[in-house]
Amino acid sequence: MKERRTPQPAVARCKLVLVGDVQGGKTAMLQVLAKDCYPETYVPTVFENYTACLESEEQRVELSLWDTSGSPYYDNVRPLCYSDSDAVLLCFDVSRPETLDSALKKWKTEILDYCPSTRVLLVGCKTDLRTDLSTLMELSHQKQAPISYEQGCAVAKQLGAEIYLECSAFTSEKSVHSVFRTASLVCLNKGSPLPPKSPTRSLSKRLLHLPSRAELISSAFKKEKAKSCSVM
């Protein structure tokens, strides 16, 4: 008798673009996901592309993850990354209230301009700094405090975001994985509520670097010069 082959899980693909202010926590999240390590030093991002695979018994989700620079210097180039995105992760640093202000004043407008139909998730990063003494003292001198979960939820509603999520790439790898798992569910369940959490069997990943900004621009324009992104 022939051996029965185990059915392979269905494969889905999602493109996620991470945006937000400089040093908002985007790259640290991606490096924890893709390389299982927290970056020891800060290196400003230009553009990087990561891939990861989330797999359960029922489905395999291949994620294309786009890390973008929050620097105003790249404001004319960054929009090229939005093409064909399934979701945008708008990231901010909970220890820097001004980065959440930027979500409303800058990033909301940019997302609506370049990919109005793409789903948005608001992500509060660096939650470990909420209890960091030096951070609290610095903020108190400015008569400020870390952004609370409730404040994040309120801004997510103002943005029209699908959901508000939080993580600490420094102290909790699990929280980072949860962000990307939720993002993949948002992509796969278009127009539907998120299903109950099911166990993820494995996570494999690899890191790719876009060779240069010039190549990014060239390939993007070759693909489509003036197409707005949409949920696939």
pLDDT tens profile 15-43: 999 999 999 999 999 989 877 777 776 66
Asked, for residue 43, whether it belongs to a domain, the answer is yes
Asked, for residue 42, whether it belongs to a domain, the answer is yes
Q: Residue 63: which domain range?
A: 11-187
Instruction: Give this prediction's pTM.
Output: 0.79
Per-residue pLDDT at 2 exceeds 50: yes
Pairing type for strands 119-125 and 163-166 reads parallel
Per-residue pLDDT at 7 exceeds 60: yes
* Per-residue pLDDT tens over the stretch 110-143: 999 999 999 999 999 999 999 999 999 999 999 9
Asked, for residue 202, whether it belongs to a domain, the answer is no
Q: How many domains does the chain have?
A: 1
pLDDT (mean) for 38-60:
78
Of 68-72, 93-97, 205-209, 210-214, where does the model show the most confidence? 93-97
Asked, for residue 66, whether it belongs to a domain, the answer is yes
Per-residue pLDDT at 205 exceeds 70: no
Asked, for residue 77, whether it belongs to a domain, the answer is yes
Asked, for residue 5, whether it belongs to a domain, the answer is no
Asked, for residue 199, whether it belongs to a domain, the answer is no
Per-residue pLDDT at 166 exceeds 90: yes
Asked, for residue 200, whether it belongs to a domain, the answer is no
Burial letters 67-103, b for 16+ CB under 10 A, else e: bbbbeeebeebbbbbbbbbbbbbbbbbbbbbebbebb
Alpha helices by DSSP H, the chain: 26-35, 97-102, 108-114, 133-141, 149-159, 173-188, 213-223
Six token digits for residue 113: 């301009």
Q: What is the DSSP string of 18-50?
A: EE-STTSSHHHHHHHHHHSS--SS----SEEEE
pLDDT (mean) for 177-193:
83
Residue 227: the pLDDT is 39
CATH number at residue 47: 3.40.50.300
